[in-house]
Amino acid sequence: MLGILIQLGLSWLLLWMVEKKNLSALGLMPTALRFLDFALGFGAAALLLTAHTLATTTMKGNTWSIHHQFSFHAWFSSAWWTIKSVLFEELLFRGALLYLLLQRTSLRTGCLISATAFGVYHWFSMGVLGNLQAMVFVFIGTGIWGLMFAYAFGKTRSLYLPIGLHLGWNFFNIVVFSQGPLGKQWLIVSDNGHQITGLLSIGLFLFQWFGLPLIVYYYLRIFRKNDNRETINTTSYSTEQD
């Protein structure tokens, strides 16, 4: 938690020194629309992660069971770890730095720079540096999602939607389905060793990479295109928004 507070303090300092603005520039003040963005982002990410995970394990013939030793304390501890990791990444890659970048470049350019940094960051956080094939896959996969998070911030001018998307996916992936760095969590899969091959494997892979980003893109393009209810200053944004 101390790290998050330090990030907020540094973000405030940076925003004040460069733009004479405070943390409200990041869209942190709660509103009904921002809560809706968070809920929709969390729900959509959770649903797609669940659909992809269950489809994959069903096609492999695997089964899930509840980890009965996973206590309430473990639930809380794992959830809190996930929340902190998501907040750390969002404040770092979609916080003050992206805001300032968007004030000086177009939405497209700012999002691409943020996504590139997000992809490179995961070479280190996922420990794949030096493994060229893994580096390419990690960069593309996390870069696409970094682009989605950055675009969500740029279009809504708030961190609520990217945090909801990021948290929904990570929480269900790590805490519910035990597919993250914390090991066995609530549900445990019995792997019989079967593999999915051919076009079906490619389809599942592409769905994991592009499914949620495409949904978010069209949500923002269609349902939020003419939404002017968010009011942070965007007068210095480039006119090249989409």
Question: pLDDT for 107-154, tens place per residue?
Answer: 999 999 999 999 999 999 999 999 999 999 999 999 999 999 999 999
Q: Which two tokens stand for residue 48?
A: 């797609």
The span from the CA of 115 to the CA of 212, in Å, is: 16
Given this model, what pLDDT does residue 227 score? 57
Q: Which two tokens stand for residue 79?
A: 């959830």
The span from the CA of 158 to the CA of 162, in Å, is: 8
Total length of the chain: 242
Model confidence over 68-117: pLDDT tens digits?
Answer: 999 999 999 999 999 999 999 999 999 999 999 999 999 999 999 999 99
Given this model, what pLDDT does residue 239 score? 36
The span from the CA of 173 to the CA of 208, in Å, is: 12
Q: For the residues of 95-138, what is the DSSP string, one character each?
A: SHHHHHHHHHS-HHHHHHHHHHHHHHHHHHHTT-TT-HHHHHHH
Question: Is the whole model's pTM more than 0.75, yes or no?
Answer: yes
Q: Which two tokens stand for residue 68?
A: 């009965």
Return the CA Rg of the chain. Answer: 19
Place of tokens 């490619």: 202
18 touches 100 (CB < 8 A)? yes
Given this model, what pLDDT does residue 236 score? 45
> What angle, 0 to 180 degrees and rounded to 10, lies between the N-to-C axes of helices 32-60 and 132-156?
150
Q: Where along the chain do its domains lie?
A: 33-223
153 touches 225 (CB < 8 A)? no
Name which residue leads in pLDDT, 207 or 1: 207
- Tell me what the mean pLDDT of segment 152-179 comes to: 97
